[in-house]
Amino acid sequence: MGAGHGHGHAASRAEDRKRLRWVLLVTGTVLVVELVGAWLTGSLALLADAGHMATDAGAVVLALGASYVASRPGGSRSTFGYHRVEIVAALLNAVVLLGVCGYLGWSGVARLTDPPEVNGPGLVGFAVVGLIANAASLVLLSGGDSSSLNLRGAINEVFADMLGSVLAVAAGVVIWVADWQQADPIASLLIAAMILPRAVLLIRDSGRVLLEMAPPDLDLDDVRHHLAHAPGVVGVHDLHAWTITSGMTSLSAHVTVRDDVLEEQGVGAVLDALGDCVATHFGVRHTTFQVEPESHEEHEDLGEMH
């Protein structure tokens, strides 16, 4: 079961890398176009979109690199492999997003009182190019592994940038039609406001994995209840669950079993029953159980938690 799970992750990562390479090509091209457009039009919203495009490109490079590293086999000291590199990449992407929010907020407020002259038609033209490119990139990425935090980080970057392009187009139309220059800094502030919650959620989800917290969709009390009702089980303790990387949950537990059941069925049959229980009810296949006879329960010493 474990080997098939690993092959599934390898296949999905290979497909994700193919999508990410296409997105990097599109993003890099549009970044140059928008930088030229920001210089020609004087638009902060377009510059913000170009700056976010730059973080998009960095995020995609980071996600690609993390995906390659995570595919490397583990060694004697990295027994779980390098899967966590993807989670670190997702966290870094979220931190960069927070930095973009801060810059856009500071520059947008500064320009509200004294907005520079912005070329409305030019802003619309360049922003439409960015919008089309971002929409294409989002379609490419959305077909990948939706459970991967690494890919989610890249998707969040592209989605936020697409929203930025929409707002840049809207600001350009307002300036073009009504000559209201404040539309440009207001658009940049709205872009920052939409990016912020997505960055915070990505930091939260990455932090849960790095802190080895139990997955939010896995109720350990329910797991304990199911294991406790397996044939011959009289107690379940030292139960732990954590996420190695997106979609790869691990679980371990000490399970106390009646001596007569162990003698009759053997440890192998008990382990099969416990593994099938968790896999069937909770979809967790990477499990480790320490089966203990009931007569040994009072001699167990798990040590002190520090």
Scan for tokens 């069937």, then name that residue: 280
203, part of any domain: yes
Q: Assess whether 35 and 135 both reside in one domain.
A: yes
Q: Is 63 exposed, middle or buried (0-12, 13-18, 19+ CB in 10 A)?
A: buried
Instruction: For residues 93 and 201, state if they share a domain.
Output: yes
Task: Please tell me whether residues 205 and 131 are part of one structural domain.
Answer: yes
Is pTM beyond 0.85 here? Answer: no
Q: CA 169 to CA 123: how far, in whole Å?
A: 7
- 37 in a structural domain: yes
pLDDT of residue 288: 93
Establish if 11 belongs to a structural domain.
yes
Which of 151, 177, 210 is the last residue before a domain boundary? 210
- Residues in CB range of 214: below 8 A, 6 or more apart: 220, 240, 241, 242
196 and 48 belong to one structural domain = yes
H or E element that contains 242: strand 233-245
Question: Could you tell me if 43 and 140 lie in one domain?
Answer: yes
pLDDT at 8: 47
Same-domain status, 271 and 145: no
Residues 31 and 81 in one domain: yes
Last-in-domain residue among 172, 191, 210: 210
Residue 306 placed within a domain:
no
CATH number of the domain that 238 lies in? 3.30.70.1350
Half-sphere exposure of 218 (CA within 13 A, CB side): 23
Provide the CATH number for the domain around residue 53: 1.20.1510.10
Tokens 């039609």 appear where? 177
Residues 201 and 136 in one domain: yes
Q: Choose the final residue of a domain: 210, 229, 249.
A: 210
Residue 61 within any structural domain of the chain? yes
Q: How far is 302 from 70, CA to CA, in rounded Å?
A: 32
On whether residue 52 sits in a domain, the answer given is yes
Are both 249 and 101 inside the same structural domain? no
Q: Assess whether 196 and 145 both reside in one domain.
A: yes
Q: Which domain holds residue 111?
A: 2-210
What integer pLDDT is reported at residue 1 of this predicted model?
Answer: 39
Q: Is residue 215 part of a domain?
A: no
Per residue of the chain (306 residues), what is the pLDDT tens digit?
Answer: 344 444 445 556 566 677 778 778 887 887 888 888 888 887 777 777 776 677 667 667 766 776 676 667 766 776 677 777 778 877 887 888 788 788 888 888 888 888 878 888 888 888 888 888 888 878 877 765 555 665 666 677 677 778 778 888 998 899 999 989 888 888 888 878 877 887 888 888 888 888 889 988 899 999 999 999 998 999 999 999 998 877 788 999 999 999 999 999 999 999 999 999 999 999 998 999 999 998 876 655 555 544
Same domain, 273 and 292: yes
Number of domain units in the chain = 2
How many Å separate Cα 38 from the centre of its chain?
31
Look at residue 221 in the predicted model and tell me its pLDDT.
95
The verdict on 224 and 206 lying in the same domain is: no
